[in-house]
Amino acid sequence: MATVYFDEATRKFSKDDAPAVDGITLDIADGEFLVLVGPSGCGKSTTLRMLAGLEPVDGGRILVDGHDQKGVRPRDRDIAMVFQSYALYPNMTAAQNMAFALDNAKVSKSETRQRVAEAAKILELEQLLDRKPGQMSGGQRQRVAMGRAIVRNPKVFCMDEPLSNLDAKLRVSTRSQIAGLQRRLGITTVYVTHDQVEAMTMGHRVAVLRDGKLQQVDTPEALYDRPVNTFVASFIGSPAITLVESSVRDGRAEVHGVPVPLDRAVAGRAGEKVVVGLRPESWHVVGSPEGKGGSAALALNVELVESLGSESFVYGRPAGAGDDAGRVTVRLDKRTHLTVGDVVHVEPNHGEVHVFDASSGERIEA
């Protein structure tokens, strides 16, 4: 196990292009499960490969247990990589794939057999050790790739979208297995994914990247409840947050014509433009066009209903607005039944409003 520290780490593929990784500073604790998340091309896989030694560091440095990794070959870093493609040798059995790195390191055959057997037991692979990759399912191949990393007893696990080739149901079960395995082994793990649901359910902390820059790193709950800017707010959360630009007047903003009371610190910005954010659960249904406070409620034309059994999500546009008006997403409990074409009246919940500066996109603290 080890600590990992990115100190202004930078990677540029070309002098004329913007950095793929731009001055990232990130402190990862011993035994922590940290998830790097962001859209395609944000630099998360490059960041991981820099740690593993598969990409050079063009600026700054990366420390493992306080030691600068500059000039240290990948094979000497004691970092185990799990790739998206599994990268198994097709002509070898599961046991041989798992033992390959140990054989190259001249580990004794008895110790190799012991480590492979222990990893196979942890991953429930004992009945598959004699099979080759072509005889296994995607989930089984993924576990063999995990086993190959585990037998090395590395300081750090690096995982680059290891679940992306699995079907949806298998992804859900396997991500819980990986998270449980990491807790059991206690090995520092850096995990890359583009799937924010995966990130929110697996990591002790989540680091959000955009265009090579670190936007925010925090616990999943803090990212959801207090995003630092509109990008993090819109990226974290499924379904996505509703963001609407508005002017501040009389201590309020407006969301499609519906007044939204603001905290005192924000209410003092009279005449300024802000972006108001409301998550799907931050609305409640009212029975008439007049809301509970006597002001007009927001009338939504229902365009889509996603029923999940215990709850449903309704997507609609403000009644009377054109197609260019943004959609609003509202979470409903299973007792509220709506269909496409219905009109539903909703109001925002007090105290559940996120407010951002319209020009910078940065969060305005209450």
Does 363 reside within a domain?
A: no
Does 102 reside within a domain?
A: yes
DSSP 80-102: EEE-TT----TTS-HHHHHHHHH
Check whether residue 189 and residue 320 sit in a common domain.
no
Check whether residue 228 and residue 265 sit in a common domain.
no
Check whether residue 254 and residue 293 sit in a common domain.
yes
What is the per-residue pLDDT for 290? 59
Query: Residues near 357 by Cβ (< 8 Å), separated by ≥ 6?
Result: 274, 275, 363, 364
Check whether residue 25 and residue 167 sit in a common domain.
yes
Check whether residue 147 and residue 38 sit in a common domain.
yes
What is the per-residue pLDDT for 288? 64
CATH number of domain containing 283: 2.40.50.140
pTM for the whole thing? Answer: 0.89
CATH number of domain containing 101: 3.40.50.300
Is-contact 145 92, C-beta < 8 A?
A: no
Does 337 reside within a domain?
A: yes
Check whether residue 83 and residue 186 sit in a common domain.
yes
Parent domain of 287: 242-357
Q: What's the domain count of the chain?
A: 2
Does 22 reside within a domain?
A: yes
Check whether residue 16 and residue 137 sit in a common domain.
yes
Is-contact 304 332, C-beta < 8 A?
A: no
Is-contact 272 360, C-beta < 8 A?
A: no
Check whether residue 49 and residue 192 sit in a common domain.
yes
Does 362 reside within a domain?
A: no
What is the per-residue pLDDT for 328? 95
| Strand 213-218 relative to strand 258-261, pairing | unpaired
Instruction: Please choose, from the candidates 25, 19, 21, 26, the residue with its C-alpha nearest in 3D space to the C-alpha of residue 44.
Output: 21
Does 51 reside within a domain?
A: yes
Does 14 reside within a domain?
A: yes
Instruction: Among 203, 219, 235, give the residue marking a domain's end.
Output: 235
Check whether residue 184 and residue 253 sit in a common domain.
no
Check whether residue 162 and residue 22 sit in a common domain.
yes
What is the per-residue pLDDT for 294? 47
- What does the pLDDT profile of the chain (366 residues) look like in tens digits? 799 999 999 999 998 889 999 999 999 999 999 999 999 999 999 999 999 999 999 999 999 999 999 999 998 999 999 888 888 999 999 999 999 989 988 999 999 999 999 999 888 899 999 999 999 988 899 889 989 998 988 999 999 998 888 788 888 888 888 888 899 889 999 999 988 889 999 999 999 999 999 999 999 999 999 999 999 999 999 999 999 999 998 888 988 888 888 887 787 788 889 999 999 999 999 876 655 554 578 999 999 999 988 899 999 999 877 667 789 999 998 888 899 999 999 999 988 999 999 999 999 986
